[in-house]
Amino acid sequence: MAVSVRFVGSGDSFGSGGRFQTCILVDGPSSRFAIDFGASSLIALTQQGIEHNSIDAIVLTHLHGDHCGGVPFLLIDAMLGAKRTRPLTIAGPRDLQRRMDVMREALFPGSKMMTPKFGLTWLEMQPGRPHEILDLIVTPQAARHTAETNPTAVRVEVGGKVVAYTGDTEWTDDVAKVAAGADLLIAESYFFDKPVKWHLNYHDIAERRDRLGARRVILTHMSREMLSHVDDVPDECAHDGLVVTV
C-alpha cells in the first residue's frame, strides 16, 4: 500500500531559508496524520491548500515550539472558525496534555474556557513501547535533546510501511532503533560541519547511512549553514511542499 509523505514544513526553529517549522503530513490507507506541528504549521498547511480539519492525528516528538507550537492555534481554530467535527488524537511525550494546556493558555489567555465539540483524545506515549493510534503503530524512543522537552524519536508503522523521524537529537542507540529497516527515515541535519549539542549534523547521518538499514533517507530541519551545502551533498534534502511516496 502506498503511503504519501508531505514535508509541510522542513525548516529549523528560526525561519532559516524562509522555511516553515517542522510538520510532516502522512497519508496512509485510512488516516491522515502529522508528525510534529510547529508554530507556523497552520500557515504552511493553508499555503499548500490543505485543511487542518482533515488531519486525524498528530504525533509529537518533543515539546519545543518549532515542533508542537502550532497545536494551540489548530485547537482554537478547530473550535471557532474551522468548526471541526472530525475526532482528533494528539499523541506525544510524557506530560503532553498539561504542557500543551499551559502553552495554549500562554498564547491565548482565557482560552481554557473553551471546550471542543469534537472528540479530542490525548495520548502520552512511553518510550520503547508500541502504541496503537487509529491504524498506526507508533513506537517512540528516548532521544538526547533538551531534557525539559521530554524528547523522543518516532517510528510509525502505517499501511505496511515504516516512516521514522529522528526529531531533534544527538545520535544514540535508541535513535538507531527507529531507523532500522525503515522505508523512509527522516533525519535531522541541523548543521553541515559544526557539531552541536543535542542535535544531529550532516556527518552524523552520512557516516552511518549505509549501516542504518533504512531504504531511503531524507534530511530536514536545516540551519542556514546546512542549507548552503544542500546542492553539494548527494543526499535527498527536504523542502517545503515536497511530497514523496513510500
What residues make contact with Zn ion under the rule CB under 5 A? Answer: 64, 66, 168
Q: What number of residues does the chain have?
A: 246
Rounded to a whole number of angstroms, the minimum distance from the CB of residue 24 to Zn ion is 12
Query: Burial code of 30-56, b = ≥16 C-beta within 10 A, e = fewer?
Result: ebbbbbbbbbbbbebbeebebebeebb
Inter-CA distances, 33 with 105, 145, 147, 233, Å: 25, 24, 26, 30
Q: Closest CB to Zn ion among 78 and 222? A: 222
For residue 97, what is the enclosing H or E element?
Answer: helix 96-107
Strands (E), 78-207: 88-92, 120-124, 131-133, 136-142, 152-158, 161-165, 184-188
Work out the end-to-end distance of the chain between its first and last CA atoms, rounded to an integer number of angstroms: 9
Q: Closest CB to Zn ion among 3 and 25? A: 25
Rounded to a whole number of angstroms, the minimum distance from the CB of residue 224 to Zn ion is 14
Q: Closest CB to Zn ion among 161 and 199? A: 199
Interhelix angle 71-79/96-107, nearest 10 degrees: 70
Q: Closest CB to Zn ion among 52 and 64? A: 64
Q: Closest CB to Zn ion among 14 and 87? A: 14
Output the nine-digit C-alpha cell for 174.
535508541
Rounded to a whole number of angstroms, the minimum distance from the CB of residue 221 to Zn ion is 6
Rounded to a whole number of angstroms, the minimum distance from the CB of residue 84 to Zn ion is 27
Rounded to a whole number of angstroms, the minimum distance from the CB of residue 91 to Zn ion is 17
